Amino acid sequence: MAPIIQLDDLRKTYASSEEPVHAVRGVSLTITKGEFVAVMGTSGSGKSTLMNILGCLDRPTSGSYLLDGIEVSKLSRDQLSDLRNHKIGFVFQNFNLLARTSALENVELPMLYRRTPLSPAKQREKAMAALEMVGIGKRADHTPNQLSGGQQQRVAIARSLINDPVLLLADEPTGNLDSRTSIEILGIFQRLNAQGITVLMVTHEPDVANYSKRIIVMRDGKIRSDTQVAKRFDAAEELRNLPVETTP
Amino acid sequence: MRLQTSFHTAFRALLRNKLRSLLTALGIIIGVAAVIAMVGIGNGAKKQVEDQVAALGDNALMIFAGSSSRGGMSGGFGSAGTLTLDDAFAIKRDIPGVQGVTPEVEGSTRISSGNQNWFTRLNGVAADYFSIRMWNFSFGGPFEERDVKTAAKVAVIGKTTAVEIFGTEEEALGKVVRIRNVPFTIIGVLAPKGASFFGRDQDDTIVIPYTSAMKRVLGTKTIPRITVSVERGKSVAMVVEQITSLLLQRHRLPGDREPDFTIRTQEELTTMATATSKTMTTLLGFVASISLIVGGIGIMNIMLVSVTERTREIGIRLAIGARGSDILMQFLIEAVTLSLLGGLIGIGLAFLAAALIMHFSPMPVYITAGPILYSFAFSAAVGVLFGFYPARKAASLDPIEALRYE
């Protein structure tokens, strides 16, 4: 399997007035197509910095980062934008949808910035299909403030997939959701992963991490452990086992 | 990003804050309206002057006694007494292409009829005068060459004078009016011409043969001015040249001496008359342009606020793959859309203002394409110029920082 992500001695140092801050101190890592990886770690462990570099939002100070065979560490700002546009799909903790903009238009947004534009009709069709896929096609014309947190996150997932990325990056995707909705969202990730999409998820909850296939724990800017999940949670099964909610 | 999509996005962003967008564009709206209306007022004044000068006949030229450079304007054209009636006859006799010639003497005088008095302007002219000035008659008609030869006591009066003394124009015809106690019979009433470009009422006048004026009323021997009309199709410049050499010869002035007369063509008079209103138009336009710049600063101010407010939106757009240039275009197009919309509304407002001014005042407003195009282009330029800094600020945001912005 071709590696989607290949890191070699990746380092990130922030210049500071007192002494330089070493956020990431030599990370080497390979993630192949079809993996579902959870990155864990306390705050200050360097996982956010690593996430930003993997998401092409930031460049490493040294070391190499190959994303789908492309060396990212030396690319320009515009080239990084283009990579984010068609190689990576982002899902954030606070959803980050455009306010006062319909779900459909939010999903269409990444297509507007494609270097090879699609016709407006084609865009609409693709966005609609993506919304159907995450089970929210009926609410395509709703704006974010008319949607629940779980629904907003579904819209965000639809948006992240719209340009057929090689990597789905999720930063604490269930951080703002209740437990049932969290499992539903993790179920979507598991389903997408089963279809062959590579997923990398940052979380600090071990329960959430257990829905992935591989857990990487960071500490002090280095990888402390890297293990396969022995007893993986299945979202569909967990949902069935949840006590039936009684609405008061 | 497609340009069409960019404009769509910009419109939506502007519609989201309707009141704010309107207030921001107000500076441009007022600026554009002011430029167009102000230049329109200036042009109206200029056109009025041009029309009046043209009414004199564009083939006319005037010869003033006295040198323009020696006496200058301080002495006043025509005060030198160097032109004679024989000069006028010689011009009519010897210069080809001359259609009409009239010596002109003038003075201010009190005229009376019965117990009515009026102080007016007296013009002594030849019969050619009326055709040269293209002046028609409401009632009666002009005096003829025969009347001039005999220094007949006949007069033609303007509308204002007729109304002041006889009540109506019609009443005046055939009546006798006393000019410095000399009785003159009114044989014609001139069609009204309105105010001249010097602001004088041209209809407040009484016109008599110059012979009568010189012998019977004013008692002068020299004439201050000769007006000449050139035949259609003949070169005015050529006639000017021939008159110049004829007069130099008649006045026995060698070539190196300053001529003792000044010739002004219609074109020169027009230029002189419009120069002032042109300056005024330019000045008005310039002052109004300043308000456009102030409007631009208003746009910049609001765009800067908008960029700060929408930091997170910018962060999202950058994260999902917008380039810096996409963000730059988005905000630039927003600023330009704002200023262009302001420009369009301003153009509408200018026409409204022009209509109101013309309805409530006698001032003519003459709106031309020039200032409309100029101010519209200027407002677009203002949008680009003042939108650029905020847009660049938005484009250079760091996506990580912008996403974290609360």
State pTM to two decimals.
0.71
Q: Which uninterrupted H or E stretch holds B332? A: helix B324-360
B150-182: pLDDT as tens digits: 999 999 999 999 998 998 888 888 999 999 889
Which position has the higher pLDDT, B76 or B155? B155
Whether B326 sits inside 8 A of A113 (CB atoms) is yes
This complex has an ipTM of: 0.93
Cβ–Cβ < 8 Å for B40, B367:
yes
Tell me which chain B residues have a C-beta less than 8 angstroms from the C-beta of A163.
Answer: 321
Yes or no: is domain A3-241 CATH 2.40.50.140? no
Q: At what angle do helices A149-161 and A120-133 cross, to 10 degrees?
A: 130
Whether B321 sits inside 8 A of A100 (CB atoms) is no
How far B37 CA lies from chain A's nearest CA (Å)?
Answer: 40
A52-100: pLDDT as tens digits: 999 999 999 999 999 999 999 889 999 999 999 999 999 999 999 999 8
Q: Is A218 helix (H, G, I), strand (E, B) or coil?
A: strand
Whether B319 sits inside 8 A of A98 (CB atoms) is no
Residue B119 β-bridge partners: B110
- Report the Cα–Cα distance between both ends of chain A, in Å, rounded: 51
How far B320 CA lies from chain A's nearest CA (Å)?
Answer: 5
Distance CA B228, CA B223 (A): 14
Burial class (CB in 10 A: 0-12, 13-18, 19+), B373: exposed
Q: Among all residues of chain B, which has the CA nearest to that of A49?
A: B400
Q: Which residues contact B3 (CB under 8 A, 6 or more apart)?
A: B333
Q: Which of A58, A78, A113 sits opposite B320 (nearest CB)?
A: A113
What ranges do the domains of chain A cover?
3-241
Instruction: Please determine, for residue B198, whether its predicted confidence score (pLDDT) is greater than 70.
Output: no
DSSP state of B134: T
Can you list the residues of chain A whose pLDDT is less than 70? 1, 244-248
Distance CA B75, CA B59 (A): 27
Q: Which two tokens stand for residue A199?
A: 């997923």
Write out the DSSP string of A63-125.
Answer: EEEEETTEE-TT--HHHHHHHHHHHEEEE-TT--PPTTS-HHHHHHHHHHT-SSPPPHHHHHH
Cβ–Cβ < 8 Å for A164, A137:
no
B92-118: pLDDT as tens digits: 888 888 888 999 998 888 899 888 889
pLDDT computed for residue A1 by the predictor: 65
Whether B319 sits inside 8 A of A84 (CB atoms) is yes
Whether A163 sits inside 8 A of B1 (CB atoms) is no
